[in-house]
Amino acid sequence: MGTQSDIKLIDENGLRLDGRSAGDLRPIRIEAGVLERADGSAMIEWGGNKIIVAVYGPREAYPKHNQDINRAIVKARYNMAAFSVDERKRPGPDRRSIEISKVLSEALSAAIMVEQFPRAQIDVFIEVLQADAGTRIAGLTASSVAIADAGIPMRDFVTGCTAGKVDGKVVLDLSKEEDNFGQADLPVAALPKSGKIVLMQMDGDLSVEEFETATSMIMNAIPRINEIQRNALSSRVKVEGGGGE
């Protein structure tokens, strides 16, 4: 988290810089099937984030010594384009991208029925075209739509959101300014049907009470975000089927 100087992120009426109240989400739009050459794909616009996901597989894992005889290997590759942030990012993977790729791979593995595809590999490419805070959660949320679009069987979607502390107040779905100058950031992802947590990280400090408030706000938001995921797939099916009711 950054160091807040003279920036006031929440006004005297409890409203944030973008006019939202503490429990409001930024606008979210998801579209499935955006890439013809991928087995499955999705695009998400979440606040100012613009992220595209491509899925390939299941296919035989290569090299063969990487194969697991009992399950498929899920390899998520998270990358921020050089032009995705205000100050041009150096191209190629860095330590942050490698770490995020690992935790996203583990989160997706918990949802995919990997036991149905021994010795196979599922590749998930997450490309951040424009970053505006919460990119790992937005990319993960879009990834499960892309995986479903590829027809890969899943136990459930992976759906996530962030919460954090800004000006001493717990708020949902941090914006870029809130992420940079707030006191804490808590990204969480879960399987909506069971409520099982598949990703949880924290940057900054929250009291026990603040942590419980933040997680409660996230878990209450997850069904709303999951509905957007499901609608994206439903729209995809309608388009392919001719769009009739």
| Domains defined along the chain, listed by start | 28-240 (3.30.230.70)
pLDDT digits (tens, 9 = 90+) for 155-172: 999 999 999 999 999 999
Rounded to the nearest 10 degrees, the angle between the axes of helix 135-149 and helix 95-111 is 40
| pLDDT value at residue 67 | 92
Decide if 96 contacts 89 (C-beta within 8 A): no
Q: Is the pLDDT of residue 3 over 80?
A: no
pLDDT digits (tens, 9 = 90+) for 172-197: 999 999 999 999 999 999 999 999 99
| Structural tokens at position 183 | 């006191």
| Structural tokens at position 144 | 């499960």
- Name 76's Cβ contacts closer than 8 Å, sequence gap at least 6: 101, 104, 105, 108, 124, 126, 143
pLDDT digits (tens, 9 = 90+) for 198-235: 999 999 999 999 999 999 999 999 999 999 999 999 98
| Structural tokens at position 105 | 């791979």
